[in-house]
Amino acid sequence: MRIGMPHMGNLYIPFKSLFQRLDIDFVIPPLTSQRTLSLGVRHSPEGTCLPFKLTLGNLIEAAELGADTLLMPAGSGICRLGYYAKTQQHVLHELGYNAEIVCVGFSQRKLAGLLETIKNLSNNAPWSKIIPAFRFGLAKLNALDRIERVVQKLRPVEETKGTANRLLTKAVKAIDQANDYNTLKRVQIDYINQLNQVTKDEETSPLVVGIIGEFYVLLEPFSNLDVEKELGRLGVEVRRTTFVSEWTKFSLFLNPFGVNEKDRIHKAALPYLKRDIGGDGWESVGEKVLHAKEYDGLVHLAPFTCMPEIVAQNIMPKTKENIPVLTILCDEQLGKSGMLTRLEAFTDLLKHRRRVKNKA
Ligand code: SF4
């Protein structure tokens, strides 16, 4: 059995570590690229959302490398995610790949379901091997997100543009290579120190922009054309509440005990939207309401044809909590120069708004 899975940011790093420790043959498809997108677009049904196309492209590239067991997240929600695995399986078979898709159903059995899937994939490895391997994977996931948060703060204020991104690339590589807790801890401390020592422009008070929207396009930089890096280059501090480590902490460990991190966000959305509409639409509305006073603006990332985010996009202008929102529809037609022009215009508007506010 050779396992493959689609990319979403650096998520392959904790999975690689987990599978290596369990001696599972795991193949990492090439990082998401223009080729991945072309493959996905060519073989997807018309009108599907970008996450479907990109993950399909990843799965095809994994199958090309000999993967015969492909992992796909599955959900019981209201949107198309529930149909992904079945449709992608069909496409792969049509293309002549004999790979089977294994659904990883987080939403139903949470941690127990995930651990059982790992046990099956590892050919019944003992729990005494699975649990430490799983914990170390989680430690890597936490380390990656911790460093990314520091980088988000540093990008807009670093004196030499690009320093934070260069350190991030090195840190990701070092975390990937760390083989024990001591090394992992040392790598984290070392890179966070290096990031803290970067020369900053202390005079600057950067604009603060929240990034909200659909989970996948928030976390896969290829799908959003590196919007966070681009905003950082424009002198904007990005705030994002969605991180895989946070999601894991709540979804796998705390939700079963009745602790739901989204309660606050859902409550904030209630005057405008009373129920879950699938995907992350409810959260997008709630985040706008919650953060209207804290942030200068919001960038709302929505896959083209994503029903939950279309609903959210249409509700947002009507909330009484007033904050500028730039919705970026992500699909294969999104071009870098067009997006940059819109980001530049948006940040100009936010700067003007801040000046007016400061004078008042
Ligand atoms: S939330 Fe939107 S983009 Fe994500 S799977 Fe559902 S429909 Fe597609």
Count of alpha carbons within 13 angstroms of residue 48, beta-carbon side: 22
Which residue among 48, 72, 80, 83 has the greatest number of ligand 1 atoms within 8 angstroms of its CB, and so is best to mutate? 80
- Structure-token match 């801890």, residue found: 185
- Write down the residue that tokens 């997008």 correspond to: 284
Separation between Cα atoms, residue 241 and residue 56, nearest integer Å:
27
pLDDT value of residue 73: 84
CA distance 315 to 185: 44
As a whole number of angstroms, the distance between CA 80 and CA 308 comes to 10
Residue 81, ligand 1, Cβ within 6 A: yes
Whether ligand 1 lies within 6 angstroms of the CB of 307 is answered as yes
Does residue 57 have its Cβ closer than 6 Å to ligand 1? no
Ligand 1 centroid–CA 50 distance in Å is 8
CA 279 to centroid of ligand 1, rounded, Å:
6
The span from the CA of 20 to the CA of 28, in Å, is 12
Identify the sign of the CA torsion 89, 92, 97, 103: negative
Q: Which numbered atom of ligand 1 lies nearest the CA of 217?
A: 3
| Contacts of 116-120 spanning 24+ positions with Cβ under 8 A | 117/71, 118/18, 118/22
Q: Which atom from ligand 1 is nearest to the alpha carbon of 77?
A: 6
Q: Do strands 69-74 and 207-213 pair parallel, antiparallel, or not at all (unpaired)?
A: unpaired
pLDDT tens digits along 297-346: 999 999 999 999 999 999 999 999 999 999 999 999 999 999 999 999 99
pLDDT at position 284 is 97
d(CA 191, CA 147): 8
C-alpha to C-alpha distance for 17 and 354, rounded to whole angstroms: 45
Distance CA 227, CA 346 (A): 13
Residue 107 is predicted with a pLDDT of 60
Report the percentage of the chain scoring pLDDT > 70.
Answer: 98
* C-beta 311 within 6 A of ligand 1: no
- Residues whose CB falls within 8 Å of the CB of residue 303, separated by 6 or more in sequence, listed in order: 49, 50, 51, 214, 216, 217, 223, 309, 329, 330, 331
Nearest ligand 1 atom, CA 279: 1
Which regions of the chain are under pLDDT 50? none
For position 225, what pLDDT does the model report?
A: 97
Cβ 80 under 6 angstroms from ligand 1: yes
pLDDT at 83: 86
Name the one residue in this structure whose structure tokens are 């708004």.
353
Tokens of 251: 């979804």
Mean pLDDT of the chain: 94
**Quick check: CB of 21 below 6 Å from ligand 1?**
no
**pLDDT of 328:** 98
**Shortest-distance Cα residue to atom 7 of ligand 1:** 306
Q: Is 213 in the pocket of ligand 1 (CB under 6 A)?
A: no
pTM of the shown model: 0.94
State the pLDDT at residue 76: 65
